[in-house]
Amino acid sequence: MSGELTKVLRRFEERLGLLESGNHKGPAHWKIFHLHNALNALKNDHAAAALHLDEFDKVDVAREFPEMEADRIPTVEQIRSRFDTIAGGML
């Protein structure tokens, strides 16, 4: 087994254990969604699985590094404002 695949497998197992223990922060359904996607990709493409695990970790990383503004999730008001700008008077 390649070193990269081993790392992804260990990462996956750690994230699964975190969910099983109930010691995670944030909504579990999104973490389960990303873990499920990682599992689906794991057999054929461990690099894609690693990307799904990155999404699993994104909320926790954002708490640790708040300067990551580019990955910040917009508010509903910001989405509405941007949509209104794009849609203009078309509707």
Q: Which domain holds residue 44?
A: 3-87
Q: Report pLDDT for 63.
A: 67
Please give the angle made by the CA atoms of 54, 61 and 44, to the nearest 5 degrees: 5
pLDDT digits (tens, 9 = 90+) for 22-55: 876 666 788 888 889 999 998 889 899 998 888 8
Instruction: Report the phi/psi class of residue 22: left, alpha or beta, with left for phi > 0 and alpha for psi in -120 to 50.
Output: left
Give the total number of structural domains in the chain: 1
